[in-house]
Homo-oligomer: A and B are copies of this chain.
Amino acid sequence: MNPLQKLDKLRCLMALSDFDAYIIPGTDPHMGEYMPEFWQIRSWFSGFTGSAGTLVVTSNFAGLWTDSRYFLQAEAELKGSGIELVKLKVPHTPEHVDWIVKNMPVGTRVGVDGKMISVDSVRMIKNAFEKKQMELITNEDLISPLWTDRPPIPLNPIFHLDVEYSGISRTEKIEKVRNEMKRLNVTHHLITSLDDIAWLLNLRGTDIQYNPLFVSYLLMDMQSANLFVNETKIVPELLEGLKNDGVFVFGYDDIEEALSKLTKGDSLLIAPGKVNQFLFDAVKPGVTIVEGPNPTTLMKSIKNETELANLQETMVLDGIALVKFFFWLEKHIGKEKITEISAAVKLLEFRKEQLVFKGLSFETIAGYAAHGAIVHYDPTPETDVELKPEGIFLLDSGGQYLSGTTDVTRTVALGVPNEEQKSDFTLALKGTISLSDAVFPEGTKGYQLDALARIALWKSGINFGHGTGHGVGFYLNVHEGPQSISPNAAGPASNVIEKGMVTSVEPAMYREGNHGIRTENLVLCVPYLKNEFGSFLKFDTLTLCQIDRNLIEVNLLEKEELAWLNSYHANVYDRLSPFLPDAECKWLKEKTAKIDF
């Protein structure tokens, strides 16, 4: 079936249901960033494979809303599909809803599969629809009947993450969540986000690319934690272990019935941004709904001591791979053919040398020269270019280890950099240093810190169009809430940066057509001091990898910034050198040598 045929058939089904428009969101029933092919409905239907995008189909129009990262890709992939690219003015905004309100007549009936959209989003849409008496119908899935050769939901095995990595047993975690439920005065709690479930139960899976998750729902009460998942994914021994811990397994689709059995007197805690409308509707009127973030979200963001000790070790493992890679790159560049993709593969090989390495934590961004200026550029065989002993190479990559998740960006000069390249690199680096070296009072929110990473760039008339930092999971999602560092106080950056949280620091600069520059480290929030003015926190930088000295314009650094850099480099060498072969060790010594003011 080609896209035009799909479009025709969908329009038939829409007519049968009296829908004037149908929305196909780009997410899944678990509101995940990545999802199994089974739920890649928008990709299947439209042919557009980008990670973000929403489709709206009417009787005489079909449009795909996506952001500037994907304009070129979407144009190419949508060719001949009958679907138009609609360019989002502001990324991650529901401009398609505004379009419907503006372009469709009063009383329009709009359908969307309630499984694929959150309670929050449904409310937002209904609210926008009100002024034109439009209707949103969420209980009809028009795609499943069309998608006859649909791949199955993955049945990959689930495995237990030992307490030597997780630090706290699942019974202890469940107890903590129950305490929070008591505080909130609820009898039940539904968790639908896969990283929350994986963290709480100390389980991991491989259903989703890059994220070590398994498809499931969890419904907790004060006695049991009921896990809705295909039982074949769990070996009997683990099943028994779970049962002993009060975790009982039911079929994945049984969640609807379980929710419908809640009765008056029950009270259910849900996170309306994470729970889909279909499950929300399964709850009978009369059950008290209490809305709030999943308690697990904050709990998992604050890493425990075992996780932190593991993470420190993981940074050494990841650092070894990075040093070996950059050493190899420097020695081989210009002598053999190296491309963006082959470089990414080489780095993966070095990471694979570690026993606890389980895979990448996201698609490697390997952008040479002008490609570096394309935010979220993932090289494909069609775009792949050869690296030459000149210009700038941006490499943003990360690993999933049993002992933690990494995310690191380094930008290196493959030849002798020019003044502009050095100035650009150093201004962005000043942002990384300024934020990494910050001290702030307890209670500070991510949006408050964002400008520290930008002010040096701003003063040179430069800015970058993405957030400055995101939370990172522990052998979980590389993008994890609740915190973030960004200028947008309406989003996760309105959450407090707390002691024990791991966040990325990644100011950047992109000179279109020339190069992209980013120095990204993970930092841990730790106590600094306590006095009559209150308690203060700071960051410890976790990531261990040299920052390219060739790209640093020392004159642009303040004394304090240079001190940070020298101290960071000394630590990188101290921590990594014991584990490096002689040649790499000697090389790293030079790369991390002290720079004098």
Contacts and interface: CB of A to CB of B under 8 A. Distances in A.
A455 interface: yes
B441 A458 contact: yes
A266 interface: no
Interface string A441-473: 100110111111001001101110000000000
Contacts of A529: 461
B536 A461 contact: yes
A462 B533 contact: yes
A381 interface: no
A145 interface: no
B459 A441 contact: no
Contacts of A450: 448
A450 B444 CA distance: 11
Q: Copy number in this complex?
A: 2
A489 interface: yes
Given A447-B447, A451-B452, A452-B451, A458 B489 contact: no
A223 interface: no
Contacts of A438: 455, 458-459
Contacts of A61: none
Contacts of A455: 438-440, 452
Contacts of A461: 439, 528-529, 531, 533, 536
A534 interface: yes
Contact of A463 (B449, B487, B534, B558): B534
Chain A contact residues, majority secondary structure: mixed
A371 B458 CA distance: 39
A512 B489 contact: no
B487 A459 contact: no
Given A452-B451, A489-B447, A463 B533 contact: yes
A558 B459 CA distance: 16
A532 interface: yes
A447 B486 CA distance: 12
Contacts of A441: 458, 463
Contacts of A489: 445, 447, 489, 494
A444 to B, nearest CB: 8
A533 B558 CA distance: 25
A422 to B, nearest CB: 18
Interface string A146-179: 0000000000000000000000000000000000
A477 B494 CA distance: 31
Contacts of A558: 558-560
Nearest to A434: B455
Contacts of A451: 440, 448-449, 451-452
A313 B461 CA distance: 31
A141 to B, nearest CB: 36
A352 B445 CA distance: 45
Contacts of A439: 455, 458-459, 461
Nearest to A457: B533
A452 B532 CA distance: 22
B448 A536 contact: no
A532 B512 CA distance: 9
Given A447-B489, A463-B534, A558-B558, 12 more contacts: A438-B459, A439-B461, A440-B458, A441-B463, A445-B489, A448-B487, A449-B451, A452-B455, A461-B529, A462-B533, A463-B533, A558-B560
